[in-house]
């Protein structure tokens, strides 16, 4: 290598990176990194705090016993856990088929005009304050049809909150399925509904599961609509036509109380709620992954 | 005098001497126009495809080659806003009869696409079994095993995949994936196989294997292949159709004949210009 050859590749003055640009890059890098750190640490701090405050409240009675009257120590939140499970299950049974159906219709059958309409409506419903959903269900179900606060009314309010989440998320996931797969299915001489059931939905399976988990997680934490519909209950009740306890209601009731024992139980209930959603998300992921090999 | 006879009432393939001698027509395309919304992509295309042959459709990009083959199995209309006018007959089926069910039409005409598209969540075995299952055939476990093995053999893929039948089809190489797609298309027993630039995503060796396979298969299945590779057309096909888009953007059939004639003594000067590489 000659010196002459090396000097040919000198960067001229006008093309050098200036000190000002170096500084700007450094400052922006630090700012953006700090924002990322802050966003991530919020999650860690909240979950960490709930675990630290909630763990001491957990014992066997917490999961098996019913709440005690004012001033009496002990007891548990078993009715709230069972109530949340039952109302969540009923809500999912209502919301998942409807949301899935709307998403399939918008994405597979009327991709153009209708997809926009479905998305717009879903966004409007998702944007409704959940307390308004509660008031609506209270006015139509609790006051007129059933005549009392009831678990099924709570489940219905939760379903209204879940439907747009399922519909919107699933619609987006279905649009990610390559159109080449649909064409391949149709070209094999399959009717469209079979192509959807056997090719489109299985391909989008992981995304659909995520949508359902997202909706269940959102509904599981809803408090306001349940106050006006399920009301809450300190006794065990599986009858969906009667008032039913739920974890968020229990958390609210205990958190605003003046007793330290109930405050601890509010933290414990929060931990149970967070853990239940995490377990649901992880186990559904595992189930779908093992099926896809 | 108005003719009251509907197109589907008479014999679908007219009982006249077939243009290419001993062979019967597998496909007849008559005055076919295809549209995307208001845009006409191909116009007035008429030609016959003899049974048991490979017919190539060549032409520059945008001349409507793909649109033309997609009209043969009514896949054209799957695109929103797309429709076709004219007639296509496959065997004795009037494909565009108002009574024809596109789903039934596609069951006698298989299709292989430009990009290998095995179903990613299915195994090699399930990919081949997909056609029968999607059509709701009820087969016993053994019948399905036989069908899968037979069609993987026909697609010259059996030896390479017989030990990994239950692995994902997406894990195969590009050329193997395309042969898997051919096996999948053959599994439902079509009489016609449409191939839309099946080798354009493949390397030369994989391309060679597919071309070899096409020659093998053409004894039992009539093949129509779209290609922008003229060497490929001359290697694999017995008949060639040359399509060209006019200044109005409408693709028309310029020349149709045996591949040998079309490449050595083209009748139309535009064909000659295209095959000698003077445009397109």
Mean pLDDT, chain B, rounded, equals 88
Nearest residue of B to residue A196 by CA position? Answer: B134
Distances (CA, A) of B275 to A173, B235, B272: 45, 14, 5
Say what the ipTM of the complex is.
Answer: 0.86
Check A188 against B123: CB less than 8 A apart. no
Contact B234, B274 (CB under 8 A): no
Let me know if residue B18 belongs to a domain.
Answer: no
pLDDT at A112: 67
Coil, helix or strand at residue B133: helix
Token pair, residue B184, equals 């999948």
The residue range of the domain holding B246 is 25-275
Average pLDDT over residues A91-116: 87
Q: What is the pLDDT of residues B11-40, one digit of tens each?
A: 334 444 444 444 567 899 999 999 999 999
pLDDT at A133: 92
Average pLDDT over residues A117-135: 88
Q: Are strands B222-226 and B239-245 parallel, antiparallel or unpaired?
A: unpaired
Q: What is the CATH topology of the domain spanning A82-246?
A: MetI-like fold (1.10.3720)
Closest CA to B43 of B267, B215, B187, B253: B253
Q: What is the pLDDT of residues A246-280, one digit of tens each?
A: 999 999 999 998 888 899 999 999 999 999 988 98
Name the band, by pLDDT with cuts 50, 70 and 90, for residue A6. Answer: low
Whether A122 shows a pLDDT value over 90: the answer reads no
DSSP string over chain A: --HHHHHTTPPPGGGSPPHHHHHHHHHHHHHHHHHHHHHHHHHHHHHHHHHHHHGGG--HHHHHSPBPPTT---B--HHHHHHHHHHHHHHHHHHHHHHHHHHHIIIII-TTHHHHHHHHHHHHHHHS-HHHHHHHHIIIIIIIII-S--HHHHHHHHHHHHHHHHHHHHHHHHHTS-HHHHHHHHHTT--HHHHIIIIIHHHTHHHHHHHHHHHHHHHHT--HHHHTTTB--SS----TTS-B--HHHHHHHHHTSS-HHHHHHHHHHHHHHHHHHHHHHHHHHHHHHHHT-
Let me know if residue B77 belongs to a domain.
Answer: yes
> Which among B107, B113, B120 has the least Cβ separation from residue A183?
B113
d(C-alpha A12, C-alpha A8), whole Å: 11
Size of interface A-B (CB pairs under 8 A): 75
Residue B168 near chain A (CB below 8 Å): yes
Which is more confident, B17 or A196? A196
Cβ neighbours of A186 in B, within 8 Å:
75, 78, 103, 106
Q: What share of chain B is helix, strand, coil (3-state, %, to 5)?
A: 35, 25, 40
Nearest residue of B to residue A201 by CA position? Answer: B121
- Strand partners for B255: B242
Residue B120 near chain A (CB below 8 Å): yes
d(C-alpha B220, C-alpha B131), whole Å: 19
Cβ neighbours of B188 in A, within 8 Å:
188-189
For chain A, the domains span 82-246
Cβ-based neighbour number of residue A122 at 10 Å: 22
Mean pLDDT, chain A, rounded, equals 89
DSSP string over A151-200: HHHHHHHHHHHHHHHHHHHHHHHHHTS-HHHHHHHHHTT--HHHHIIIII
Let me know if residue B232 belongs to a domain.
Answer: yes
Contact B148, B187 (CB under 8 A): yes
pLDDT at A30: 97
Contact B259, B233 (CB under 8 A): yes
Average pLDDT over residues B6-15: 38
Check A202 against B121: CB less than 8 A apart. yes
For tokens 């909240």, name the residue: A46
Check A183 against B120: CB less than 8 A apart. no
Coil, helix or strand at residue B263: helix
pLDDT at A8: 72
Cβ neighbours of B185 in A, within 8 Å:
187-188
Residue B75 near chain A (CB below 8 Å): yes
φ, ψ (nearest 5 deg) of residue A245: -80, 160
d(C-alpha A244, C-alpha A204), whole Å: 35
Residue B200 near chain A (CB below 8 Å): no
Let me know if residue B234 belongs to a domain.
Answer: yes
Closest CA to A47 of A272, A271, A262: A271
d(C-alpha A163, C-alpha A168), whole Å: 9
CATH number at residue B147: 3.40.50.300
> Which among A184, A189, A205 has the least Cβ separation from residue B113?
A184
Which is more confident, B193 or A18? B193
Cβ-based neighbour number of residue B225 at 10 Å: 29
> Which among A112, A183, A199 has the least Cβ separation from residue B78?
A183
pLDDT at A2: 52
Q: What is the pLDDT of residues B221-278, one digit of tens each?
A: 999 999 988 999 999 999 999 999 988 989 999 999 999 999 999 999 999 999 888 7
Cβ neighbours of B123 in A, within 8 Å:
293
Number of domains chain B is built from: 1
Q: What is the pLDDT of residues B52-98, one digit of tens each?
A: 999 999 999 889 999 999 999 999 999 888 999 999 999 888 999 99
Cβ neighbours of B168 in A, within 8 Å:
293
Q: Is pTM, for the whole model, over 0.90? A: no
Check A203 against B80: CB less than 8 A apart. no
B215 sits in which H/E element: helix B204-217
Average pLDDT over residues B106-125: 93
Check A181 against B104: CB less than 8 A apart. no
Q: What is the pLDDT of residues A131-149, one digit of tens each?
A: 999 999 999 888 888 888 9
Let me know if residue B267 belongs to a domain.
Answer: yes
Q: What is the pLDDT of residues B141-177, one digit of tens each?
A: 999 999 999 999 999 999 999 999 999 988 899 999 9
Contact A253, A232 (CB under 8 A): yes
d(C-alpha A54, C-alpha A58), whole Å: 7
Name the band, by pLDDT with cuts 50, 70 and 90, for residue B8. Answer: very low
Check B130 against A191: CB less than 8 A apart. no
Which is more confident, B245 or A292? B245
Name the band, by pLDDT with cuts 50, 70 and 90, for residue A86. Answer: very high
């Amino acid at each position: 290598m000659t010196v002459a050859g090396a000097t040919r590749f000198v960067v001229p003055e006008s093309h050098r990176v200036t000190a000002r640009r170096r500084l700007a890059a450094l400052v922006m890098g630090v700012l953006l990194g700090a924002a990322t750190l802050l966003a991530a640490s919020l999650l860690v701090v909240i979950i960490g705090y709930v675990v630290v405050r909630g763990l001491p409240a957990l014992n066997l009675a917490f999961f098996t016993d019913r709440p005690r009257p004012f001033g009496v120590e002990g007891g548990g939140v078993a009715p709230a856990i069972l109530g949340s499970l039952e109302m969540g299950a009923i809500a999912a049974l209502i919301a998942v088929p409807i949301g899935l159906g709307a998403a399939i219709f918008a994405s597979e059958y009327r991709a153009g005009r209708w997809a926009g309409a479905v998305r717009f409506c879903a966004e409007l419903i998702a944007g409704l304050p959940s307390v308004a959903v509660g008031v609506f269900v209270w006015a139509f179900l609790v006051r007129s049809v059933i005549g009392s606060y009831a678990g099924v009314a709570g489940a219905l309010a939760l379903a209204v909150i879940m439907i747009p989440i399922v519909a919107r998320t699933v619609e987006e996931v279905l649009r990610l399925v390559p159109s080449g797969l649909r064409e391949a299915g149709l070209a094999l001489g399959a009717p469209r509904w079979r192509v959807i059931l056997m090719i489109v939905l299985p391909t989008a399976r992981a995304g659909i599961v995520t949508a359902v988990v997202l909706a269940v997680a959102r509904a599981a934490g809803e408090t306001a609509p349940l106050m006006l519909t399920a009301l809450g209950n300190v006794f065990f009740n599986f009858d969906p036509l009667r008032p039913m306890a739920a974890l968020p209601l229990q958390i609210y009731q205990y958190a605003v109380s003046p007793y330290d024992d109930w405050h601890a139980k509010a933290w414990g209930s929060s931990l149970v709620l967070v853990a239940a959603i995490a377990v649901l998300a992880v186990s559904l992921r595992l189930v779908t992954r093992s099926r896809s090999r | 005098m108005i003719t009251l006879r509907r197109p589907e009432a008479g014999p679908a393939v007219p009982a006249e001497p077939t243009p290419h001698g001993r062979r019967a027509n597998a496909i007849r395309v008559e005055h076919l126009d295809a549209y995307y919304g208001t845009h006409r992509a191909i116009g007035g295309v008429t030609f016959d495809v003899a049974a048991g042959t490979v017919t190539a459709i060549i032409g520059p990009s945008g001349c409507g080659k793909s649109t033309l083959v997609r009209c043969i199995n009514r896949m054209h209309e799957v695109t929103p806003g797309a429709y076709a006018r004219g007639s296509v007959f496959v065997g004795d089926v009037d494909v565009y009869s108002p009574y024809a069910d596109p789903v039934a039409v596609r069951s006698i005409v298989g299709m292989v696409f430009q990009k290998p598209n095995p179903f990613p969540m299915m195994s090699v075995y399930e990919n081949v079994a997909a056609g029968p299952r999607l059509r709701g055939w009820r087969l016993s476990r053994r019948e399905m095993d036989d069908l899968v093995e037979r069609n993987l053999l026909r697609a010259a893929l059996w030896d390479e995949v017989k030990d990994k039948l239950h692995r994902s089809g997406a894990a195969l190489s590009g050329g193997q994936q395309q042969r898997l797609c051919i096996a999948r298309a053959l599994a439902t027993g079509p009489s016609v196989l449409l191939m839309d630039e099946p080798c354009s995503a493949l390397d030369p060796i994989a391309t060679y294997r597919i071309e070899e396979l096409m020659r093998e298969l053409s004894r039992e299945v009539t093949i129509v292949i779209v290609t922008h590779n003229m060497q490929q057309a001359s290697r694999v096909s017995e008949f060639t159709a040359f399509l060209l888009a006019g200044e109005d953007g409408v693709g028309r059939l310029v020349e149709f004949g045996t591949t040998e004639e079309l490449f050595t003594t083209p009748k139309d000067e535009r064909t000659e210009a295209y095959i000698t590489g003077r445009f397109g």
